């Protein structure tokens, strides 16, 4: 299988791009080769496609449900009870809808943590997208639940082997939902099986307070004390971290995922981009789930990430009245008004190349030998005109409507903004909505 994209703009030059099987094999002007499929890239630009480094895909089913609530009230009183009613078929419908939304918005890889993971696996296999999939591990420090989840984890990895598009990873929910013994068990299981670990970490002030009360340590310090942290750990959110904790994350090679929209919507706090970036920590971007965002649009995530980093200042967000006294100096050092922070180019890198680094994926650039994951954007879309700086336009101006074509692993998943079968997926989700109300 080969695909030739003719006359497409790449880094300000018109090029031909050849894809053979799953990889880019040639990038040069006027390429004279035969290909089984040819796309005319005239009037279009090619970019690496996006990597959504932290989400809960099937939460598309909860889009618009229980909005405008504090995180722990939202989780305990609304989200977890709703999720307890979801079946394999529900998750499959939600995950297919999520894959459709990601393809339409230029994402070809996502990292997921959710229930009934075989349903998401089925959706990913059918939709042609990439994913790093983790089944949730939550024991609430209950030995019986811990035993059950450990058995479930062993079974999950026994039955599911990675392929060229799907990677399987561990998914302990957080330090406040997983016991110390289980975190140690997961640490060892990951080491024995060479696995990545995806965990929510230091997301809220309450998480920090509860961890200090329960363990005498802040969340990052606690995980460090049990030898949990390492280059295989992916830390989602990572908002409430002090200088010492950021030093620990850097020294251990932990990767972090910034979820700006979710953090803002749930009022979790301000991600300390400047301090984390200057320590050389790899920063990816993620949307989080659709009930805390409420979409999976990485273009929107990039723009808000960049703007939030620049504008989080004392005249704007101010210091929350309930900020921990011990954190006040640190918090004041983290908020700033600086338009040079988090440039458009950095935002794009976080959403592409850094995402690839987090998951050990040979992608994130349009170059021979790299995995053929890319998008074509319509340069005649009003949001990209005039074209003084295409990257700035993409991050600050464009909507996903400018994305014409999405390609993953060398396969065209969307062309002319059309995904095969999208009407059926939406119809199915609409029918689910009626059914779940009847079920309730």
Q: What is the pLDDT of residues 173-215, one digit of tens each?
A: 999 999 999 999 999 999 999 999 999 999 999 999 999 999 9
Q: What torsion do the CA atoms of 375, 379, 385, 391 make, to the nearest 10 degrees?
A: 30
Give the count of beta carbons closer than 10 Å to the beta carbon of residue 328: 11
- Both tokens of 216, joined, read 């005498």
Average pLDDT over residues 352-360: 98
**Mean pLDDT of all residues in the chain?**
93
Average pLDDT over residues 150-157: 97
State yes or no: pLDDT of 313 exceeds 50.
Answer: no
Distance CA 102, CA 400 (A): 10
Identify the band that residue 72 occupies on the pLDDT scale cut at 50, 70 and 90: confident
State yes or no: pLDDT of 245 exceeds 90.
Answer: yes
**Can you tell me which residue has the tokens 């939304």?**
101
* 37, 44 Cβ separation under 8 angstroms: no
Of 395 and 76, the one with more pLDDT:
395
Predicted confidence at residue 1, as pLDDT, reads 86
Predicted confidence at residue 250, as pLDDT, reads 98
Distance CA 334, CA 390 (A): 30
State yes or no: pLDDT of 281 exceeds 50.
Answer: yes
SS3 71: helix
Average pLDDT over residues 41-68: 96
Residues 6 or more apart whose CB falls under 8 angstroms from that of 198 comprise 54, 111, 113, 132, 134, 169, 170, 171, 234, 236
Q: Please tell me the least confidently modeled range out of 280-284, 296-300, 430-434.
A: 430-434
State yes or no: pLDDT of 23 exceeds 90.
Answer: yes
Average pLDDT over residues 277-282: 96
Distance CA 128, CA 413 (A): 7
In order of 74, 174, 200, 265, 324, the CA distances from 204 in angstroms are: 13, 11, 10, 12, 11
Identify the band that residue 440 occupies on the pLDDT scale cut at 50, 70 and 90: low
SS3 per residue for 171-240: EECCCCCCCHHHHHHHHHHHHHHCCCEEEEECCCHHHHHHHHHHHCCCHHHHHHHCCCCCCCEEEEECCC
SS3 311: helix
In order of 98, 148, 151, 228, the CA distances from 191 in angstroms are: 31, 21, 17, 10
Residues 6 or more apart whose CB falls under 8 angstroms from that of 77 comprise 69
Identify the band that residue 316 occupies on the pLDDT scale cut at 50, 70 and 90: very low
Average pLDDT over residues 23-48: 97
State yes or no: pLDDT of 321 exceeds 70.
Answer: no
Pick the CATH number of 2-48+364-414 from 2.30.40.10, 3.30.2350.10, 3.90.180.10, 2.60.120.10: 2.30.40.10
pLDDT above 90: percentage of residues in the chain: 85
Predicted confidence at residue 35, as pLDDT, reads 96
State yes or no: pLDDT of 439 exceeds 80.
Answer: no
The angle subtended at Cα 200 by Cα 199 and Cα 206, nearest 5°, is: 145
Predicted confidence at residue 74, as pLDDT, reads 87
Please tell me the pTM assigned to this model: 0.94
Architecture of domain 50-357: Alpha-Beta Barrel (3.20)
In order of 193, 286, 289, the CA distances from 170 in angstroms are: 10, 17, 18
Q: How many CA atoms lie within 13 A of 31 on its CB side?
A: 22
Q: How many CA atoms lie within 13 A of 318 on its CB side?
A: 4
Residues 6 or more apart whose CB falls under 8 angstroms from that of 326 comprise none
Predicted confidence at residue 208, as pLDDT, reads 94
Identify the band that residue 311 occupies on the pLDDT scale cut at 50, 70 and 90: confident
Average pLDDT over residues 290-297: 96
In order of 36, 50, 91, 346, 367, the CA distances from 284 in angstroms are: 35, 10, 25, 10, 21
Predicted confidence at residue 338, as pLDDT, reads 85
Q: Please tell me the least confidently modeled range out of 182-191, 202-211, 221-230, 322-331.
A: 322-331
Domain extent listing, the chain? 2-48+364-414, 50-357
Distance CA 99, CA 296 (A): 9
Predicted confidence at residue 195, as pLDDT, reads 98
């Amino acid at each position: 299988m080969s695909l030739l994209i003719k006359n497409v703009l790449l880094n300000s030059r018109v090029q031909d791009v050849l894809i053979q099987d799953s990889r880019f094999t040639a990038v040069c002007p006027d390429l004279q080769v035969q290909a089984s499929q040819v796309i005319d890239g005239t009037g279009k630009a090619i970019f690496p496609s996006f990597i959504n480094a932290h989400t809960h895909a099937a939460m598309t089913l909860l889009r618009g449900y229980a909005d405008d609530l504090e995180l722990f009230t939202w989780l305990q009183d609304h989200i977890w009870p709703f999720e307890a009613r979801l079946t394999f078929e529900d998750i499959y419908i939600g995950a297919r809808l999520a894959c459709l939304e990601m393809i339409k918005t230029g994402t070809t890889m996502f990292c997921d943590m959710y229930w009934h993971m075989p349903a998401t696996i089925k959706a990913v296999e059918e939709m042609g997208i990439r994913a790093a999939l983790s089944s949730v591990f939550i024991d609430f420090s209950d030995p019986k639940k811990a035993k059950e989840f450990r058995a479930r984890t062993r079974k999950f990895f026994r039955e599911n082997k990675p392929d060229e598009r799907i990677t399987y990873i561990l998914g302990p929910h957080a330090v406040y939902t997983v016991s110390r013994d289980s975190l140690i068990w997961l640490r060892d299981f990951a080491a024995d099986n060479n696995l990545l670990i995806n965990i929510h970490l230091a997301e809220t002030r309450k998480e920090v307070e509860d961890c200090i009360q329960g363990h005498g340590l802040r969340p990052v310090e606690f995980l460090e004390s049990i030898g949990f942290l390492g280059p295989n750990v992916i830390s989602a959110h990572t908002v409430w971290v002090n200088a010492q904790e950021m030093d620990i994350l850097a020294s251990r090679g932990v990767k972090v995922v910034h979820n700006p929209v979710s953090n803002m919507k749930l009022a979790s706090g301000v991600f300390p981009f400047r301090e984390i970036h200057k320590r050389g920590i790899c920063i990816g971007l993620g949307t989080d789930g659709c009930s805390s965002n409420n979409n999976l649009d990485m273009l929107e995530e990039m723009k808000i990430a960049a703007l939030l980093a620049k504008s989080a200042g004392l005249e704007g967000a101010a210091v929350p009245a309930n900020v921990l006294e011990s954190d006040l100096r640190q918090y004041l050092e983290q908020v700033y008004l600086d338009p040079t922070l988090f440039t458009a180019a950095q935002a794009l890198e976080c959403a592409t190349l850094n995402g690839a680094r987090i998951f050990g994926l040979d992608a994130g650039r349009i170059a021979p030998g790299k995995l053929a994951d890319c998008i074509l954007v319509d340069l005649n879309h009003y949001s990209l005109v005039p074209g003084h700086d295409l990257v700035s336009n993409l991050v600050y101006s464009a909507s996903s409507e400018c994305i014409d074509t999405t390609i993953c692993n060398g396969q065209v998943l969307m062309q002319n903004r059309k995904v095969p079968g999208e009407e059926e997926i939406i119809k199915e989700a609409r029918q689910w909505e009626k059914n779940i109300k009847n079920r309730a």
